[in-house]
Amino acid sequence: MIRSLFIITFLLFVGYTYAQPTGKVTLNGKPYPFIIDDCGDTLIVANLEDISVSSPRMFDNEDEAKKYRRYRRYAADVYPYAVEAIKVFHEVQDATEDMRRGKAKRYAKHLYKDMKDNFEDPLKNLTKTQGMILIKMVERELKTPTYFIIKDLRGNWTAGYWGTVGKMFGHNLKEGYIPGKDRILDMVLDDFNVSYKMPSK
């Protein structure tokens, strides 16, 4: 498989290097470069989303394989919310960097209301396991337990409230993501990139 990918990449590179002429074409309002190869075919050049390539997973038994497939399906469901949560977290950190603590909390509270209006309905329909995977995705990327993320953004009372709610559903929000605690969860989270880089100022 890797050899085939290498050959295809090499051929595309050679074709790109020697193809003529070149130009730009607009699709859905976005300009893309194109090339015309020696056979007269037009090839549009575009950047693709990053993909994760991993080796086949090895399981000790069928129960582990089933758990992996279930976790991976749930992770795919909550992935967009994890990406958005991490993006918003970084944007809030950046926007409130020079604010006084009180003003920063008011900013975070206002943003929280907007996010609640947009995401409350889909998030409250998540299963217990989906919610756990979403939390672990975020904690793993931010390297901080959910409790302390909430405390930093919304204060002690709100963090305490959600800590209590988490315990009702079997989650300790102060614990954070612990690599190795759940081998199958580690495998699944390795397959999803939820990182976000702030644009250069």
**pLDDT averaged over consecutive 10-residue blocks of the chain (201 residues)?**
43 42 66 66 62 66 91 92 85 76 74 68 81 91 87 82 84 90 93 74 57
pLDDT recorded at residue 8? 41
114: left (phi over 0), alpha (psi -120 to 50) or beta: alpha
Nearest to 189 by CA among 52, 49, 50, 87: 52
Candidates 63, 193, 171; CA nearest to 126 is 171
- Report the pLDDT value the prediction gives residue 54, as an integer from 0 to 100: 57
